[in-house]
């Protein structure tokens, strides 16, 4: 790892700035702001190296999330939004924001958005590596003046996913760490060591917690036991929040309404619950 000075930072920002991908992504987000709500699309200000692009993206993001019914954002919308922020508006005007957004919208192609987005994220990742002193020239030699070298590097980057790039450098750093991992005490044991003793202890004095509403969970986990962290993992909209609320009500209410009996019935002891 090497120290990155301000001059190097400027060079990195310029060299690792996929202007065409940025142009395409910004135009596509203006044409369809709901792309920002796609769980597979994760874009932040840090993905843009130029201050102008950061300001434009933040404005698109804020306008899009101010109202779910926003289905399109044009250059006038952005101009009106940024007019309230004099410092940012100066940068907007200096970079001819009205013309830039108008043209980016006109040239945006929904069919190529994903490829532009992927390249934006990959170059952003490489830029962050370089700014943190990690050499990425084995994949993309951004300092080379040889166009063939740069083109070959870009082909290599395009053939990889973001996770593959991360894994590539994680493995390199891990190998170095392993080579110098001297004097670390290592303990090894089998996963099933002393399992019989544990099972005997659980048979003699089993631990139980407050029950879940789901009886299968009670069988598997023996209820919500103290000092245990239990995490539900599932896709968006599959009912994680509703299940949590149901468990909360079940734990905190000593009476619940039974529809079949048309009356409140005892629900056992109640405990304080925070959602």
Q: How far is CA 62 from CA 84, 95, 120, 152, in A?
A: 13, 20, 20, 38
Residue 142 lies in a domain: no
One domain for residues 11 and 105: yes
Q: In the listed set 97, 121, 145, which residue is the last one of a domain according to the structure? A: 121
Domain coverage including residue 61: 7-121
One domain for residues 115 and 12: yes
Instruction: Give CA 119 to chain center in angstroms.
Output: 17
CB 258 within 8 A of CB 265: yes
Q: In the listed set 121, 147, 174, which residue is the last one of a domain according to the structure? A: 121
pTM: 0.63
Q: Please list the residues that pair with 174 across neighbouring strands.
A: none
103: which residues sit within 8 A by CB, 6+ positions away? 27
CATH code for the domain of 52: 1.10.860.10
From its phi and psi, is residue 201 left (phi > 0), alpha (psi between -120 and 50) or beta?
Answer: alpha
According to DSSP, the β-strands at 255-258 and 263-266 are: antiparallel
Domain count, the chain: 2
Q: Report CA torsion sign: 112, 115, 117, 119.
A: negative
Q: Within 13 Å, how many C-alpha atoms sit on residue 122's CB side?
A: 26
- The three state secondary structure string of the chain is CCCCCHHHHHHHHHHCCCHHHHHHHHHHHHHCHHHHHCCCCCCCHHHCCCHHHHHHHHHHHHHHHHCCCCCCCCHHHHHHHHCCCHHHHHHHHHCCHHHHHHHHHHHCCHHHHHHHHHHHHHHHHHHHHHHCCCCCCCCCCCCCCCHHHHHHHHHHHHCCCHHHHHHHHHHHHHHHHHHCCCCCCCCCCCCCCCHHHHHHHHHHCCCCCECCCCHHHHHHHCCECCCCCCCCCCCCCCCHHHHHHHHHHHHHCCEEEECCCCEEEECCCCCCCCC
Residue 50 lies in a domain: yes
Per-residue pLDDT 10s for the chain (275 aa) are 444 555 567 777 777 889 999 999 999 999 999 999 999 999 999 999 999 999 999 999 999 999 989 999 999 999 999 999 999 999 999 999 999 999 999 999 989 999 999 999 999 999 999 988 899 999 999 888 899 999 999 999 999 999 999 999 999 888 888 887 765 666 777 877 888 887 787 778 778 888 888 888 888 888 888 888 888 888 888 888 898 898 888 889 999 898 999 999 998 888 888 88
CB atoms within 10 A of CB 47: 22
Residue 159 lies in a domain: no
One domain for residues 215 and 112: no
One domain for residues 117 and 14: yes
pLDDT of residue 2: 47
CB 23 within 8 A of CB 107: yes
Rounded Cα distance, 175 and 170, in Å? 9
CB 116 within 8 A of CB 5: no
Q: In the listed set 103, 121, 139, which residue is the last one of a domain according to the structure? A: 121
Burial class (CB in 10 A: 0-12, 13-18, 19+), 248: middle
From its phi and psi, is residue 200 left (phi > 0), alpha (psi between -120 and 50) or beta?
Answer: alpha
């Amino acid at each position: 790892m090497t120290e990155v000075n301000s001059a190097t930072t400027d060079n990195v920002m310029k060299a690792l700035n996929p202007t065409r991908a940025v142009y395409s992504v910004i135009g596509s987000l203006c044409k369809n702001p709901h792309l920002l709500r796609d769980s597979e699309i994760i874009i932040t200000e840090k993905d843009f190296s130029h201050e102008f692009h950061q300001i434009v993206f933040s404005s698109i993001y804020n306008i899009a999330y101010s109202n779910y019914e926003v289905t399109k954002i044009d250059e006038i919308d952005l101009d009106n939004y940024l007019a309230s922020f004099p410092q940012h508006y100066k940068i907007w005007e200096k970079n001819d924001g009205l013309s830039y957004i108008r043209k980016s919208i006109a040239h945006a192609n929904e069919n190529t958005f994903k490829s532009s987005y992927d390249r934006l994220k990959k170059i952003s990742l490489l830029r962050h590596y370089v700014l943190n002193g990690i050499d990425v020239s084995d994949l993309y030699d951004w300092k080379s003046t040889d166009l063939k070298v740069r083109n070959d590097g870009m082909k290599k980057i395009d053939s990889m996913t973001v996770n593959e790039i991360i894994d590539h450098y994680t493995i390199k750093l891990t190998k170095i760490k392993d080579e110098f991992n001297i004097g670390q005490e290592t303990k090894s044991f089998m996963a099933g060591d002393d399992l019989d003793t544990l099972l005997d202890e659980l048979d003699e004095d089993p631990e139980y917690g407050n029950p879940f509403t789901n009886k299968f969970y009670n069988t598997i986990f023996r209820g919500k036991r103290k000092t245990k962290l239990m995490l539900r993992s599932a896709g968006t909209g599959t009912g994680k929040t509703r299940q949590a609320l149901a468990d909360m009500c079940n734990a905190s209410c000593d009476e619940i309404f039974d529809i079949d009996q048309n009356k409140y019935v005892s629900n056992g002891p109640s405990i304080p619950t925070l959602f």
